[in-house]
A and B are shown apart, each in its own frame.
Chain A
Amino acid sequence: MTSDYLSLKAPVFNVQTYSIHDGPGIRVTVFLKGCPLRCLWCANPESNLATPQLMTYISKCTGCGACAAVCPNHAVTVKERGGKMAEFTDRSICTECGLCVEACPSEAREIAGKEQTVSEVLEKVLRDKLFIDASGGGMTVSGGECLMHPDFTEALLFAAKEKGLHTAVESCSFASRAVVDQVFKYVDLDLLDIKHMDSAVHKKLTGVPNEVILDNIRHVYHDLHVPVIIRVPVIPGYNDSDENIAATARFAAEKLGPDVAVHLLPYHRLGDSKKESLGEEVTLHIEVPSDEHMQHLKSIVESFGLASQIGG
């Protein structure tokens, strides 16, 4: 690691305090932008690209037109949308310059993602140290995908550990072995996603096959000796069959170890809202899984002798 590791930068779209579903205790979760996967159901679509992006919130928009007035490219107009007058941004000419964000009096516009240094991020995390310590919590790096920014993530994790923080990483594990080795050496707990056990289906759902992912998970657990929690986003109709959940649990029990818990995260539609804020079309309409179904899947995992829970 370089000596000036505290000034390394990465695009951060949120430092969320009081995160209670991303590892033990109260955590501060750092969301990085940029992801090698394109999951059909992505909950944080603003994290896909590593560059800043304009987001607009129609619920808060009053249609005042302040944004349209300042746009140098005339990309913004006010028109009828969803039963009220509201802004419309032509993304093909928008350069994400951010002038409209400053002009908006209703906080209905935002640029998601800003290059931040390790020390800037760490300073925000440490503000809550009192509560982190009191609850046995720590810092979780999430995304996007933190493995897209290995130098920054390594540095942030190292710096956090220097300050005595417990560290966790939420990752899709899709990266080279060298990157995995670089980042995971300063991690106390890995929250690793498995989206599907069948590589061909995995590719269809996320854009990439799963061999590298499963390989990396085994490596993290067996060679790097980092505790692992497997997280499965349960997406009805895509990966929630009994067979796939059983295969995932079998992988955890047989290829990893009996101490590996499997957390089943029920699909929620909240990502759709963000898609709209990004000016993207929502093409997929997936039902939220029922409590009964989630309980059923949980019992499948438990039948492999593994601890399981619904939600993070």
Chain B
Amino acid sequence: MTDRLKRMYSHIKTNYQHIGIEKFKIITKTEAECAGYPAILRRGQTLKNVLEQFPIFIGEDELFVGNPASKPWGLEIEAGLGKWSKEECEYLREDGFDFSLEDQEEMLRINEQFHPFGMYQGANLIIANNDRLDAFACSGMMLAPWKKDKTLGNRVGGGAACSGIGNGPGWNLLCIDFALALNKGLAAMVEECEEEIQKNTYFEKRSFERGITLQAMKLSLEGLINYAGRFAKLADEMAETEPKEWRKKELKEIAEICRRVPAYPARTFREALQCFWFMFLLVNPSPTPAIGRFDQYMYPFYKADIEAGRITDDEVLELLGMLRIRCMEMNQQSGREIRKRASGGARWINMTIGGVKPDGTDASNELTRLVLQAVRDVRTPHHTVTLRVSDSTPDDVMLLALTCQAEGCSMPAFVGDKSYIDYFTQVHNPNDGLPIEVARDFCMTGCIDGNIPYRTRTMGITMFVCPLMLDIFMNNGWDKNTDMKVGHEIAGDLSKYNSFKEFLDDFKPEYEYFVKTAGEKLNIESAVFKELLPDPFRAAFMNNGIKSGFDCYAQEYPFESNQLLNPVGMVNLAQCLYAIKKLCFDEKVCTLPEMKKAMDANWEGYEDLHQKCMELEHYGNGVDEIDDMVAQCYRWWVDTANETPSSLGGHFRCSAISVTSHQPGGALCGAMPDGRYKGEILADACASPMAGCDHEGPLAVFRSAMKIPQDEFQAMLLNMKFSPSAIRTDADKLKLAAAIKAYFANGGKHVQFIVEDQETLIDAKEHPDKHNDLLVRVAGYSTYFVQLTPGLQDEVIARTENTKI
């Protein structure tokens, strides 16, 4: 790290931030002035006003400028995510946040006049008046459980405070066309808007909507140009009084750059990075702001600068490190309850590198390597980096990426080009897919969900607790947690089933019903978002933006992945079905009603049966019978999604990431035949085995995961534990690289390595049953960590510490 980066790094603040109301004031004032306007025009005007009025400043070491909050490392009260109560404001101060009493008073005063109508209120108009959907929503099968108190009134409690100056809440998975801004410039886009506004005729059903959207797009683009202009002026002023010569020079450069971009095409790497950052500020706030294929759209600028001798790799590395640090400015806080659970809230600022170019050749370049080097230099959790891996990804890139992992950076994640491309071309259903040249341009949005920059977008996703389907089915349609009837009365007296097939024949339609109902609920939510929260800025950079003249919610795309059904705990559901098949029917160890009794008793008094359940084969060991059950459950998921229409066009598609939902998801389930006790956590990720249930090594996990129809999923998360002894040398890493490539060449989509840290090993010592899979790797020797004596476990634990950087 350079001295400049060290100074910036030392200022990183991840908690107790300043909380401002500047953005809130501008937005609520504009909303009042524009009351009754079409939503998209209102949102265009609020954005323009924020960009023209929001306080700006330039940090002392910054080489690119633009602040996501009114104070350094601060947050802004978010207008559209619920109101802050007085009590919660006080909690903020009690918990150490910098929120002035004066601002609090003003915000509460504004709150009295300001009545945001949000997603919950909108969706509740339908759900509260439909018993079927209400019971489903309250069960939490689609997380999180719907609370009955979310009535029409404006919910007051802990709202949200976020950084970012764009239109929130940004609950979507998409990557805007950064290259368009870099190469065309926003001034030309404003002109294009104007031309389209003049050319628009008014004969069609949606002519009016288009005319309005174009005006809103123009407002937001003009806003960003003016925002940059304010920085040019500020930098000039600061240069006047700056005593340090070197900084004076930098400020003058910043002023020059801000006069150039984003209005006009970028010419240098510095201009391109500045343009990117301005754009990026406007896709925040969002829990999932995608950076896209940074090493691709930035490369021409890098290359030209290097060739002209305008920049060195060290300077680029410093800028990339600065980008990592500045991404840490993107934060989010909520009310006290949520703060307790997740400090800062989960977020995914994902940069994609590597992979192939549209022509299919290797896309990695010097910038790919510099991004990875920056990951090693500047240790920050955000932004994250995902490396696309194809057959042609060079060894040195794989080595560098695995070195990051071995050093404990916990990034990059690895994703396989083949399965993602096969998803977008829909190899199994080519009429539904995109041309391969387009598919090859995919990037990560959110955690590991693929989307093609500006050509596909996902506006809604649901976390669906799979085992709860079986729990409720076996309980004859009733949810024990809410005592509401969520499903149908089908199972009844369980002794009527004479074979597993009979049981499955009854369960499968109910499975489909539940999945489709989740689709319905998501359709309602997305319809509300479409009405209330369009975003003219994003829309201008998506799918022919200005030419189309419609919002992301309001137009159909060549490939529709606008809404996703996302299963959580599918491995658990499959394991439950497998246990029922084996124990109740094949081996007749117990009857189905006995199994149900054991579940109701939370295994108490049924310890032997519990042991039998645990002793069954588990997914993740390459055993066909159980692996096939998992694959079958995923297959049903895909088939059901394909049959479920999406309110935004096309049909639902599938994704499989659990994020942190396996914990609250598990909490909703009772004791189940997979051997879990009531409320116990579900399997992490979606292609990962249940914790401690794989014991055949990493390749067996790969072999099991390869049986899942991953090509049909927009994401399929696999987490894998690795001991540091397995990736110590370059030779070790290249062997792992070969295994990763083989997995990806044969249907695998993603793998993330968790290199065991000390805490995990300590946990493994205390809870050996959860860590049966942890191997100790030494030449000519084999054992599992949990089989070592306590003394030697301590020694390995101590050794792990030494391998840490």
Q: A interface vs B, CB < 8 Å?
A: 14, 16-22, 25-26, 29, 31, 43-44, 57-60, 82, 105-107, 127-128, 130-131, 133-137, 142, 170, 231, 263, 265, 268-274, 276-277, 311-312
Contact = CB atoms under 8 A, between A and B. Distances in A.
B769 A106 contact: yes
A21 B739 contact: no
Nearest to A55: B787
Interface of B: 611, 622, 696-700, 702-703, 726, 728-729, 731-732, 734-736, 738-739, 741-742, 745-746, 765, 768-769, 772, 775-783, 786-790, 792-793, 795
A111 to B, nearest CB: 14
Contact of B778 (A57, A105, A268): A268
B699 A17 contact: yes
Contacts of A21: 732, 777-780
Contacts of B745: 134
B697 A17 contact: yes
B788 A270 contact: yes
Contacts of B622: 127
Nearest to B745: A134
B767 to A, nearest CB: 10
Nearest to A43: B781
15 contacts: A18-B739, A18-B775, A57-B787, A59-B768, A60-B769, A106-B769, A107-B772, A128-B703, A131-B699, A131-B739, A265-B779, A269-B792, A270-B792, A273-B787, A273-B789
B777 A60 contact: no
B787 A135 contact: no
Given A135-B739, A136-B738, 8 more contacts: A18-B698, A25-B738, A29-B782, A44-B782, A59-B790, A130-B746, A134-B738, A277-B789
B780 A43 contact: yes
B739 A270 contact: no
B780 A127 contact: no
A133 B792 CA distance: 35
A134 B782 CA distance: 23
Contact of A269 (B699, B726, B783, B795): B795
Given A59-B793, A131-B702, A269-B792, A14 B782 contact: yes
Contacts of A105: 611
A20 B786 contact: no
Contacts, number: 125
B777 A20 contact: yes
A134 B769 contact: no
A41 B790 CA distance: 19
Contacts of A270: 776, 778, 781, 783, 788, 792
Contact of A17 (B700, B778, B780): B700
Contacts of B778: 21, 43, 268, 270, 311
A26 B699 CA distance: 10
Contacts of A265: 779-780
Contact of A273 (B703, B729, B765, B792): B792
B402 to A, nearest CB: 13
A231 B790 CA distance: 30
A31 B782 contact: yes
B198 to A, nearest CB: 59
A59 B786 contact: yes
Contacts of B728: 311
B703 A58 contact: no
A273 B780 CA distance: 15
Contacts of A57: 786-787
A59 B782 contact: no
Given A127-B622, A269-B795, A58 B789 contact: yes
Contacts of B776: 270
Interface centre among B731, B765, B769, B780, by most chain A C-beta atoms within 10 angstroms, is B780
Interface centre among A16, A60, A135, A270, by most chain B C-beta atoms within 10 angstroms, is A270
A127 B697 CA distance: 12
Given A21-B778, A107-B772, A272-B789, A26 B696 contact: no
Contacts of B772: 107
Contacts of B697: 16-18
A21 B727 CA distance: 11
B787 A60 contact: yes
Interface centre among B611, B781, B783, B786, by most chain A C-beta atoms within 10 angstroms, is B781
A110 to B, nearest CB: 8
Nearest to B727: A20
Nearest to A105: B611
B792 A311 contact: no
B608 to A, nearest CB: 10
Contact of B780 (A22, A59, A107): A22
Contacts of B746: 130
Contacts of A107: 772
Contacts of B779: 21-22, 231, 263, 265, 311-312
A57 B790 CA distance: 10
Nearest to A135: B738
Nearest to B697: A17
Contacts of A271: 781
A137 B735 contact: yes
B523 to A, nearest CB: 41
A135 B789 CA distance: 33
Interface centre among B611, B699, B726, B745, by most chain A C-beta atoms within 10 angstroms, is B699
B792 A134 contact: no
A21 B780 CA distance: 7
A60 B768 contact: yes
Contacts of A20: 726, 731-732, 735-736, 777
B202 to A, nearest CB: 61
Contacts of A17: 696-700
B796 to A, nearest CB: 8
Contacts of A142: 780
A48 to B, nearest CB: 14
A16 B787 CA distance: 15
B619 to A, nearest CB: 16
A59 B789 contact: yes
Contacts of B742: 130-131, 133-135
A183 to B, nearest CB: 18
Contacts of B703: 127-128, 130
Contacts of A134: 738-739, 741-742, 745
Contact of A26 (B738, B777, B780, B789): B738
Contacts of A22: 779-780
Contacts of A43: 778, 780-781
A277 B745 CA distance: 41
Contacts of A60: 768-769, 786-787
Contacts of A136: 738
A18 B783 CA distance: 13
A106 B768 CA distance: 9
Contact of A274 (B700, B734, B741, B783): B783
Contacts of B700: 17, 127
A270 B790 CA distance: 11
A14 B780 CA distance: 12
Nearest to B607: A105
